[in-house]
Amino acid sequence: MQPIIAITIGDPAGIGPEVTAKALTHDEVWACCRPLVVGDAGVMRRAAALAGLGGGFHAITDPSEACYDPAAPDLLDLANVDPALQPGVVSVAAGVASAAFIERAVELARTGQAAAMATGPINKAALKLAKIPYIGHTEMIAELLDSPRVTTMLTTEGLRVVHVTRHVPLADVAKEITHENVLETVRLTDTGLRQMGIPQPRIAVAALNPHGGDEGLMGRQEIEAIGPAVEDARAEGIAATGPIPADSVFFRAIRGEFDVVVAMFHDQGHIPIKTHGFERSITVTLGLPIIRTSVDHGTAFDIAWKGVASEESMVEAIRLAAQLVAGKRD
């Protein structure tokens, strides 16, 4: 039987509801899973109209009521969004609602009522306004599941990237590049890719500084942290290579030399992924006891509720979640 994938709609003022509804018009989604949307009925009624989902959504209050009918996809209705919520605007109400969607989906996955979760985009400013004590999905889900060691992998056709640091100001990145942090990220990457069916992942580890530090002339992180972490990983049987200068490592991975690149900071990894495959890139959280994938884009308030948002990343996130469930079962 196809796995149940819990799909959160993200911030209701953004494009999450639209891309979720549009994704559920794709036959390939229904071919790989039984989707269960976690959101608000009023919001998704409007999203269904934007997506051309003629039958609308089948609103339920418990997963046991789901019918899994493509003509009227199931919606676990939390009924927590005011119909007067203004699209494209950061608000406390949207932050509170989006956090509640995440919490409910995590609970479904944790208790086995869903095999995995795929998440729509949230707005960090809305979370902050709502006094939600997390900067993003990854941090929130890790806390809910008591998983202190997690990281994010971005993936698109021909390229995968994992980050040592994520939502850290650039001025603070260098002090976070420690032997422990790099080694732990390489370990999580190796384990995650093995779970995805790659028996011996080839892991490239990017340098932090220009030209790989030029023997310490442009920084010593490669000598004192990254290089030793790679050596220790190799001693553990992990096929890690590096540090490799960041201006060439992604090209080498796209060419097929590596299965994944470990990047040192957010934009070092995000820029090549989004340049190589913007609309179809997605994220996977490694180190959790559940499977969680996500779109790799934001709430896009500038185009929210205009009917022009692309659902490709959401389709890919749902498909990969189902694929990872199948691999876990095997």
What's the whole-number mean pLDDT along residues 57-64? 97
pLDDT at residue 227, as a whole number = 97
**CA 107 to CA 282: how far, in whole Å?**
22
Query: What is the pLDDT averaged over residues 266-273?
Result: 95
Predicted local distance difference test score (pLDDT) of residue 328: 64
Range 1-147+288-330 has CATH code 2.60.40.1180: no
**Are the C-beta atoms of 20 and 48 separated by less than 8 Å?**
no
The domains spanning 1-147+288-330 and 152-282 adopt the same CATH topology? yes
Determine the CATH number of domain 152-282. Answer: 3.40.718.10
Please give the DSSP secondary-structure letter assigned to residue 212: G
**Sequence ranges of the domains in the chain:** 1-147+288-330, 152-282
Please give the average per-residue pLDDT across 194-202, as a whole number.
90
pLDDT of res. 189: 96
Helix segments in the chain, DSSP class H: 16-23, 27-32, 41-51, 92-110, 124-129, 137-144, 170-176, 179-195, 221, 227-235, 246-254, 266-277, 312-329
Quickly state the pLDDT bin for 54 (edges 50, 70, 90).
Answer: confident
pLDDT at 212 over 60: yes
Q: Are 159 and 250 in contact (CB under 8 A)?
A: yes
- Least-confidence region, from 241-255, 285-299, 315-329: 315-329
Work out the percent of the chain whose per-residue pLDDT is above 90.
Answer: 87
Q: How far apart are CA 240 and CA 256, in angstroms?
A: 15
Which uninterrupted H or E stretch holds 147?
Answer: none
Residue 260's closest CA among 117, 104, 151, 144?
Answer: 151
Q: What is the pLDDT of residue 151?
A: 87
The conformation of residue 132, written as its DSSP 8-state character, comes to -
Cβ distance 44 to 144 under 8 Å?
no
Query: CA nearest 104: which of 43, 15, 20, 38?
Result: 38
pLDDT of residue 216: 82
Question: What is the predicted pLDDT for the residue at 330?
Answer: 47
Note the pLDDT of residue 320.
93
Query: How confident is the prediction for the chain on average, in pLDDT?
Result: 94
Q: What is the pLDDT of residues 23-52, one digit of tens each?
A: 999 999 999 999 999 999 999 999 999 999
Query: pLDDT tens across 116-172, in order?
Result: 999 999 999 999 999 999 988 999 999 999 998 888 899 999 999 999 998 899 999
Residue 24 tokens read as: 């559920």
* Average pLDDT over every residue of 246-268: 97
Q: Which is more confidently placed, 197 or 66?
A: 66
Is 80 exceeded by the pLDDT of residue 78?
Answer: yes
- Tens digit of each residue's pLDDT (9 = 90 or more) over 235-251: 999 999 999 999 999 99
Q: Is the pLDDT of residue 10 over 70?
A: yes
Q: Judge whether residue 82 has pLDDT over 70.
A: yes
How many CA atoms, within 13 angstroms, populate the side-chain half-sphere of residue 41?
A: 11
pLDDT grade for 319, boundaries at 50, 70 and 90: very high
Q: H or E stretch including 114?
A: none
